[in-house]
């Protein structure tokens, strides 16, 4: 199992190019199952989650190639049974459910279960699909879905935590092939949902309202192959922005979409960060000491839950007290115990972390638990005194393309031990 050895004390300096978005690529790759024709997807990041999804597509019958960030897929036929061994390893694979039902009229998929950031239910996915006429039943940890015909409906997809990203994706993809009009109320507005809708429109789907809480999808008889380039990864961008700030460095991010980062930029500016447009990117500097801010994670366009752990790392070395409330995945605080091992002063009250900024963190061996928590531990290691050893780095490789190489290019002292 790989680990990363990080020596603290270096200010990040230079330019870093942001890769394509994992959370946009995964549902878009699933959407290629909706047509028997060839699809070409560009700017796909080379991540283990992406390779999992490509393995699932090929096990379902698609012909898949992946080279230099470009995926070509051709699913001339699609098997309705998803490979259990792969699906149970990656919850996001649930987003093949909508396309398989639309294509095959039935599906069998293992229930995603939970993960370290909390329970990952799919009740809203199944409620939305049932509204379209796809009935589901659970048996032995598997979900069996059947539908004689998909018929458009008005569907409310909100849950107690707000909208659901992959739930919106699944219902939207199924609705592209339903008879008549589907209206989704309380749809997720994330840029990745919008990107999926743009790809489906290129395939011939009739969708309006993507990126808003209300989407309308007019079913069509056939979807054809299409080409598409994935949007930049706003969470990778945010992670490197925090890297620049936590090391009081000076970093230019290129290949990003600033409009996807409005909330994050606002919150970082309120800490005292200088974030300014520069030659096709954003330049992040910290002219003086930062100050603590409070924030709450919310569905887009609110502060992203996928940036919560990284902000905990930043606030743990920022003077003042910060209250960080997690409203999307209330248990998503595995990183706090590891940050404490590095000297952070933080206590958890319900779903709120109260962080008292300390003078410095100290390097220590720490355990990565989930994708974003691992990134937070690397960020903490960049500023801690001494050496930090981040174990179970496969978590990071799921969602960050060559993070050690990108950080080294910015001057970080970071080494991957195989
Ligand atoms: C997507 O997961 C992302 N993953 C997650 O990123 C991200 O944290 C999450 O959206 C929230 O933004 C991908 O896009 C591949 P949800 P998703 O359904 O769609 C509850 C990362 O680090 N819920 O929007 O699975 C759920 O429990 C990953 O890249 C139900 O109750 O998340 C959660 O509390 C981690 N019933 C909330 O809604 C359902 O049927 C939001 O979950 C579905 C969800």
Substitution site in 328, 332, 397 for ligand 1 pocket (most atoms within 8 Å of beta carbon): 328
Q: Please identify, by atom number, the ligand 1 atom nearest to the C-alpha of residue 160.
A: 31
Distances from the Cα of 80 to the Cα of 48, 243, 321, 375, angstroms: 23, 43, 52, 36
Q: 344 and 204 in one domain?
A: no
Phi–psi pair at 9, nearest 5 degrees: 105, 0
The number of C-alpha atoms within 13 Å of 234 and in the hemisphere containing its C-beta is: 23
Which positions are catalytic?
115
Residue 53 has pLDDT above 90, yes or no: yes
Distance 329 CA to ligand 1 centre (A): 8
Distance, in Å, from the CA atom of 10 to the CA atom of 22, rounded to the nearest integer, reads 28
Q: 399 and 289 in one domain?
A: yes
The proportion of the chain whose per-residue pLDDT surpasses 70, expressed as a percent, equals 100
Order of strands, sheet of 135-139, starting from the edge strand that comes earlier in the sequence: 106-110, 142-146, 135-139
Distance, in Å, from the CA atom of 37 to the CA atom of 113, rounded to the nearest integer, reads 33
Q: 274 and 134 in one domain?
A: no
Q: 170 and 259 in one domain?
A: no
What token pair was written down for 289? 């000491």
User: Could you write out the DSSP letters of every residue in 172-185?
Assistant: HHHHTTSBSEEEEE
Residues 6+ apart with CB under 8 A from 345: 316, 355, 356, 357, 358
Q: 245 and 206 in one domain?
A: no
3-state SS class at 3: strand
Element (H, E) at 135: strand 135-139
Domain CATH number, residue 271: 3.65.10.10
Q: Please identify, by atom number, the ligand 1 atom nearest to the C-alpha of residue 124.
A: 40
3-state SS class at 214: strand
Residue closest by Cα to atom 26 of ligand 1: 120
The proportion of the chain whose per-residue pLDDT surpasses 90, expressed as a percent, equals 91
Substitution site in 155, 159, 325 for ligand 1 pocket (most atoms within 8 Å of beta carbon): 159
Q: 253 and 201 in one domain?
A: no
Top pLDDT among 287 and 80 is at 80
pLDDT for 116: 78
Q: 186 and 39 in one domain?
A: yes
Asked if 343 and 360 touch (Cβ cutoff 8 Å), the reply is yes
Domain boundary among 187, 207, 229: 229
Residue closest by Cα to atom 13 of ligand 1: 23
Residue corresponding to tokens 């003086």: 288
pLDDT digits (tens, 9 = 90+) for 97-118: 999 999 999 999 988 866 778 8
Mean pLDDT of the chain, nearest integer? 95
Q: 33 and 119 in one domain?
A: yes
Distance, in Å, from the CA atom of 259 to the CA atom of 263, rounded to the nearest integer, reads 9
Domain boundary among 194, 229, 264: 229
> What percent of the residues of the chain are helix, what percent strand, and what percent coil, each to the nearest 5?
35, 30, 35
Q: Please identify, by atom number, the ligand 1 atom nearest to the C-alpha of residue 328.
A: 34
Residue closest by Cα to atom 44 of ligand 1: 164
pLDDT digits (tens, 9 = 90+) for 352-392: 999 999 999 999 999 988 899 999 999 999 999 999 999 99
> Whole domain around residue 225: which residue ranges?
22-229
Q: 403 and 285 in one domain?
A: yes
Distance 277 CA to ligand 1 centre (A): 31
Q: 372 and 265 in one domain?
A: yes
What token pair was written down for 108? 């069998």
Range of lowest pLDDT (12-21, 278-287, 302-311): 278-287
Rg (CA), the chain: 21
Range of lowest pLDDT (15-29, 88-102, 301-315): 88-102
* Bridge partners (DSSP) listed for residue 230: none
Distances from the Cα of 123 to the Cα of 31, 117, 143, 237, 250, angstroms: 21, 18, 11, 31, 45
What average pLDDT does the segment 34-58 reach? 97
Substitution site in 165, 194, 301, 395 for ligand 1 pocket (most atoms within 8 Å of beta carbon): 165
User: Could you write out the DSSP letters of every residue in 64-120?
Assistant: EEEETTEEEEE-SS--SB--HHHHTT-GGGGGGHHHHHHHHSEEEEE---EETTEE-
Distance 208 CA to ligand 1 centre (A): 23
Distance 280 CA to ligand 1 centre (A): 31
Domain boundary among 229, 259, 279: 229
3-state SS class at 342: coil
Distance, in Å, from the CA atom of 164 to the CA atom of 344, rounded to the nearest integer, reads 32
Top pLDDT among 130 and 86 is at 130
What token pair was written down for 47? 């991540």
pLDDT for 20: 98
Residue closest by Cα to atom 14 of ligand 1: 23
Q: 247 and 217 in one domain?
A: no
CA nearest neighbour of 405 among 8, 14, 126, 1: 14
- Chain centroid to Cα 167, Å, comes to 14
Residue closest by Cα to atom 8 of ligand 1: 306
Q: 109 and 9 in one domain?
A: no
From the number of C-beta atoms within 10 Å of its C-beta (0-12, 13-18, 19+), residue 205 rates as: buried
């Amino acid at each position: 199992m790989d680990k990363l050895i990080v020596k603290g004390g270096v200010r990040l300096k230079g330019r870093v190019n942001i890769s394509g978005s994992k959370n946009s690529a995964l549902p878009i790759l699933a959407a290629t199952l909706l047509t028997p024709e060839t699809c070409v997807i560009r700017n796909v990041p080379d991540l283990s989650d992406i390779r999992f999804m490509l393995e699932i597509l090929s096990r379902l019958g698609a012909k898949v190639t992946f080279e230099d960030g470009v995926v070509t897929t051709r699913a001339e036929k699609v098997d309705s049974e998803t490979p259990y061994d792969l699906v149970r390893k990656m919850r996001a694979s649930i987003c093949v459910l909508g396309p398989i039902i639309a294509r095959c009229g039935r599906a069998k998929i293992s229930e995603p279960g939970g993960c370290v950031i909390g329970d990952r239910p799919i009740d809203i996915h199944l409620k939305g699909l049932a509204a379209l006429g796809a009935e589901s039943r659970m048996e032995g940890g598997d979900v069996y879905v059947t539908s004689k015909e998909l018929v458009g409906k008005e569907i409310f997809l909100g849950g107690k935590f707000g909208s659901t990203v992959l739930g919106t994706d699944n219902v939207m993809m199924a609705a592209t092939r339903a008879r008549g009009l589907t209206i989704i109320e309380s749809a997720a507005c994330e840029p990745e949902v919008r990107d999926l809708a743009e790809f489906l429109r290129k395939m011939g789907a009739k969708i309006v309202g993507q990126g808003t809480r209300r989407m309308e999808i007019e079913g069509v008889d056939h979807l054809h192959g299409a080409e598409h380039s994935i949007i930049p990864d706003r969470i990778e961008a945010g992670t490197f922005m925090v890297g620049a700030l936590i090391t009081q460095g000076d970093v230019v991010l290129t290949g990003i979409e600033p409009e996807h980062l409005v909330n994050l930029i606002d919150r970082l500016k309120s800490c005292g960060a200088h974030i300014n447009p520069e030659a096709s990117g954003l330049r992040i500097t910290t002219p003086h000491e930062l100050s603590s801010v409070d924030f709450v994670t919310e569905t887009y366009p609110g502060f992203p839950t996928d940036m919560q752990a990284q902000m905990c790392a930043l606030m743990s070395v920022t003077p003042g007290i910060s209250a960080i409330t997690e409203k999307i995945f209330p248990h998503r605080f595995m990183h706090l115990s590891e940050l404490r091992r590095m000297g952070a002063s933080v206590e958890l009250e319900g779903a709120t972390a109260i962080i008292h900024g300390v003078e410095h963190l100290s390097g220590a061996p720490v355990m990565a638990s989930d994708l974003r928590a691992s990134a937070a531990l690397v960020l903490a290691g960049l500023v801690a005194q001494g050496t930090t050893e981040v174990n179970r780095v496969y978590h990071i490789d799921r969602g960050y393309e060559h993070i050690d190489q990108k950080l080294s290019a910015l001057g970080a002292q970071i080494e991957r031990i195989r």
